């Protein structure tokens, strides 16, 4: 199958360098484009854009797709003085859409990316049409803790900085394929530990539930059957705070849904984004 990867590029948006990978059908590069709204994909806490390349390839068959390196990850800007807060990350997405000249667009965010998408949508940015939050941590002040532990992230990053292979990564991701392990081992060192620590801390100090009533665009919640990140009672609370929220559970999948059940992940979107993804 021919690749839908167009290129990787950098944009100066929200005062920093933001790197992204663009995937698209051939028509997206033609004058006037056409087709459904573009999609910005925002990965999770330690997932550089390249690790979502297989998802970008599939989205690119239908949508003009931009997979973002969240600040402090991949090839986007990082540094000791950079603000790694949820607010800054949300403003990054809004500013990137403006820098790309997207008149209308949807945001698909996984895990931390789902929290970023919800916070961004609560700002009511011009052009944002829809949000998909994929298994977003529902932790926050006075709520149960996020089920993963910080050492899982920082220990693997420390090893990756020294250099690690797929076999060493298997200890952290035992169910992943050789190719998935190799790619994560190659890119994990690009995750700034400061960024990961602050994002993880803000899983517990920032409450995205307060942002839900302010959203004025449709929301689709896609959750994993396994992993205990989003329980049934959490879905009910989100729906109460954001009436009309759609929800799909992906069977047989843990938190890294497209790694565990890729066809089920694509099927979960239905036609919410304006067109269906190929299975």
Instruction: Note the pLDDT tens digit of each residue in 31-44.
Output: 455 689 999 999 99
CATH T-level assignment (fold) for domain 5-144+207-267: Rossmann fold (3.40.50)
Quick one: pLDDT at residue 2?
85
Who contacts 250 (Cβ-Cβ below 8 Å, separation ≥6)?
222, 223, 224, 225, 257, 260, 261, 264, 265, 268
Domain boundaries, the chain: 5-144+207-267
Give residue-wise pLDDT tens across range 100-156: 999 999 999 999 999 999 999 999 999 999 999 999 999 999 999 999 999 999 999
The pTM for the full model equals: 0.96
- C-alpha 73/C-alpha 132 separation (Å) is 21
Residue (of 102, 2, 118, 104) closest to 57 by Cα position: 2
Terminal Cα distance for the chain, rounded: 14
Work out the burial of residue 61: count CB atoms within 10 Å of its CB; fewer than 13 is exposed, 13-18 middle, 19 or more buried: middle
Residue ranges for the chain with pLDDT beneath 70: 1, 27-34
pLDDT at res. 27 = 64
In the prediction, which pLDDT does 28 show?
Answer: 57
Identify which of 113, 105, 116, 25 has the alpha carbon closest to the alpha carbon of residue 273: 105
pLDDT at 85: 98
Bridge-based pairing of strands 65-68 and 16-23 is antiparallel
Dist CA 214 CA 100 (whole Å)? 25
- Could you tell me which of 207, 39, 38, 211 has the C-alpha nearest to residue 118? 211
Radius of gyration for the chain, computed over Cα atoms and rounded to the nearest angstrom: 17
Looking at residue 30, its pLDDT comes to 47
**CA pair distance 9, 276, nearest whole angstrom:** 27
């Amino acid at each position: 199958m021919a690749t839908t990867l167009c290129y990787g590029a950098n944009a100066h948006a929200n005062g920093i360098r933001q790197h992204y990978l663009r995937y698209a059908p051939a028509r997206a590069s033609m004058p006037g484009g056409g087709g459904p709204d573009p999609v910005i994909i925002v990965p999770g806490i330690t997932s550089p854009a390249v690790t979502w390349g297989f998802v970008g390839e599939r989205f690119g068959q239908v949508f003009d797709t931009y997979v973002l390196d969240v600040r402090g990850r991949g090839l986007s800007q990082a540094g000791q003085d950079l603000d790694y807060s949820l607010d800054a990350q949300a403003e990054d997405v809004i500013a990137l859409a403006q820098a790309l000249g997207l008149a209308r667009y949807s945001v698909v965010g996984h895990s931390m990316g789902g929290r970023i998408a919800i916070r961004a949508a609560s700002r009511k940015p011009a052009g944002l049409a829809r949000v998909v939050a994929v298994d977003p941590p529902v932790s926050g002040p006075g709520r149960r803790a996020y089920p993963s532990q910080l050492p899982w992230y920082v220990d693997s990053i420390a090893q990756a900085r020294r250099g690690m292979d797929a076999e060493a990564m298997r200890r952290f991701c035992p169910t992943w394929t050789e190719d998935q392990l190799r790619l994560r081992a190659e890119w994990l060192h690009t995750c700034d530990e400061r960024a990961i620590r602050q994002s993880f801390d803000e899983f517990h100090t920032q409450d995205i539930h307060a942002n839900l009533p302010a959203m004025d665009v449709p929301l689709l919640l896609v959750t994993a059957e396994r992993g205990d990140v989003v329980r049934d009672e959490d879905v009910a609370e989100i729906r109460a705070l954001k009436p009309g929220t759609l929800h799909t559970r992906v069977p047989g999948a843990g938190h890294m849904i497209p790694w565990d059940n890729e066809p089920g992940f694509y099927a979960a979107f239905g036609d919410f984004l304006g067109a269906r993804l190929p299975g």
